[in-house]
Amino acid sequence: MSSLAPRPAVAKRLKYVVALRRSRGEGAGDERPYIGLESIESSTGRLIGDPAATDESALSASGQSDSLSNTFEPGDVLFGKLRPYLAKAWVATFQGRCTTELLVMQPVETESAFLRYVCLSRGFIDAVDASTFGSKMPRADWDFIGNMPIPVPPLPKQRATADFLDRETARLDAMVAAKERVLRLLAEKRRALITRAVTRGLDPRAPLRDSGIPWLGEIPAHWETSKFTWSVFIIEGQVDPEVEPYVTMPLIAPNHVESGTGRLLSTETAADQGAISGKYLCRRGDVIYSKIRPSLRKATIAVEDCLCSADMYPLRSREGMEPEFLLLFLLSEPFSTWAVLESNRVAMPKINREALSDIRIPVPPPQEQRALVRFITQETAGLDKVRTATERTIALLMERRAALIAAAVTGQLEVV
């Protein structure tokens, strides 16, 4: 077995080892495949979706028109200059067009595969990210990126390094994929657990009856059903987030809530967000449900008085409805299925207030609601421990991947 011993590579400015391709697409008549930033997976350099697709909307939701596109050729390396911390770089395997947020580099003194790994390396990404301008849409420019010094070892060393990294990252990626399958199974088990409990109860011997609600099916015979607004008050009337005391109150928006679990990941204030549009005032214990893109299943309980985004509904339980049970029902499969079908009637998937007000929902006796909540809390705690451990393992594998790439492309690691 031969090996190439570690040796610091000669560094050259990127603009001297690649040619920046500046050709544009031909407009609406150009049928070549279109690649958007979202078409490239972060940190791995893999293409997401069907490479043979020619419909721009199938690969990109960037909103750019056909006339605003770069062209690329097989062997070109595409690098995302918008939010470069996402580490998006891909070696083209076919002719096509791409968003202008992707730089198209034609290798001259470097191998395509090696250059892709350089562009994915931690040092390169960190340096480019530090150069960005614009707070909401941080973007780097070619003047800076082109002047970045990159390692340029002899071509045989580049090929050997790229082959080595292909093998090693494939092994790590397979391990990550296996762990991600575990996460999906845990999420499915959580959904099934919640759905079973909030639609059938805890007693498998309890007689069932037709709920009269097509999307719900059978429920325990002793459960009642209720029009949503008979059991839940949908809070109306917005407040101005720019005035006291609202400007410093915690603010919850859809991006602060984890999909499918009810966990609140973070908050900010109206002052932090620079919010100028109206917000809803929520009390501690209110259930806050995201009315946009309901397939994401975003709902949580306010742990203190706060504001919520106008993209969310603050829901206040009436007598006979426990907030924790309401939250779990909103996360259940039947309700989410109804919400997705209902929201697809408009261009931007959204549940309108009237539709939510009119649906009927199951209402177990309050004591049984509390028992259901205790059961689900206990059962999901075990699932959450496994999930946390699995996520930690994925993070370590990705860290190992990044360190391996950095060491290999800079010549600090012996390539075998």
Q: Minimum mean pLDDT among 121-125, 196-200, 243-247: which range?
A: 243-247
The first and second tokens of residue 54, run together, are 């020619």
DSSP 175-222: HHHHHHHHHHHHHHHHHHHHHHHHHH-S-TTS-EEE-S-TTT-EEETT
Tokens of 67: 């006339």
pLDDT beyond 80 at 9: no
Domain boundary among 319, 337, 363: 363
Strand partners, 207: none
**Do both 260 and 233 map to the same domain?**
yes
Predicted confidence at residue 6, as pLDDT, reads 55
326 in any annotated domain: yes
**Total count of domains within the chain:** 3
Asked if residue 270 belongs to a domain, the reply is yes
* CATH code (residue 262): 3.90.220.20
Pair 134, 274 in one domain: no
Mean pLDDT of the chain: 89
Of 262-266, 273-277, 289-293, the one with minimum mean pLDDT is 273-277
Does residue 291 sit in the same domain as residue 390? no
Percent of the chain residues topping a pLDDT of 70: 91
Amino acid 28: pLDDT: 59
CB atoms within 10 A of CB 221: 10
Mean pLDDT of 229-246: 89
Mean pLDDT over 310-324 rounds to 95
97 and 184, same structural domain? no
Identify whether the C-beta of residue 220 lies closer than 8 Å to the C-beta of residue 208.
yes
CA distance 416 to 403: 17
* Residue-level pLDDT at 415: 79
CB 279 within 8 A of CB 310: yes
DSSP letter at 59?
Answer: H
Is pTM, for the whole model, over 0.95? no
Region label for 176, one of left (φ > 0), alpha (ψ between -120 and 50) or beta (otherwise)? alpha
In a domain, 167, yes or no: yes
**Number of C-beta neighbours around residue 290 at 10 A:** 27
Query: DSSP letters along 323-377, please?
Result: HHHHHHHHHSHHHHHHHHHHHTTSSS-B--HHHHHH-EEEE--HHHHHHHHHHHH
Q: Domain range for residue 112?
A: 11-152
Same domain, 226 and 349: yes
Mean pLDDT, residues 9-19 taken together: 91
Residue 246 above 50 pLDDT?
A: yes
Same domain, yes or no: 344 and 293: yes
Q: Quick one: pLDDT at residue 414? A: 80
3: in domain: no
Flag whether 141 is in a domain: yes
Q: Is the predicted pLDDT of residue 53 greater than 80, yes or no?
A: no
Is the residue at 305 inside a domain? yes
Q: Which of the residue ranges 81-90, 123-132, 392-401, 407-416 would you say has the lowest mean pLDDT? A: 407-416
| Same-domain check for residues 280 and 257 | yes
Q: What is the pLDDT of residue 356?
A: 95
- Give domain status of residue 6, yes or no: no
Q: Let me know whether 178 and 68 are in one domain.
A: no
Specify whether 90 is located in the same domain as 229: no
Q: In this structure, are 301 and 345 located in the same domain?
A: yes
Contacts of 345 (CB under 8 A, 6+ apart): none
Q: For residue 172, is it within any domain?
A: yes
pLDDT digits (tens, 9 = 90+) for 54-94: 444 444 434 444 458 899 999 999 999 999 999 999 999 99
pLDDT of residue 403 exceeding 50: yes
- Averaged pLDDT, 123-129: 95
One domain, residues 194 and 299: no
Q: 118 and 32 in one domain?
A: yes
Neighbours of 389 (CB within 10 A): 11
What percent of the chain stands above pLDDT 90? 77
Taking 90 as the threshold, does the pLDDT of residue 168 lie above it? yes
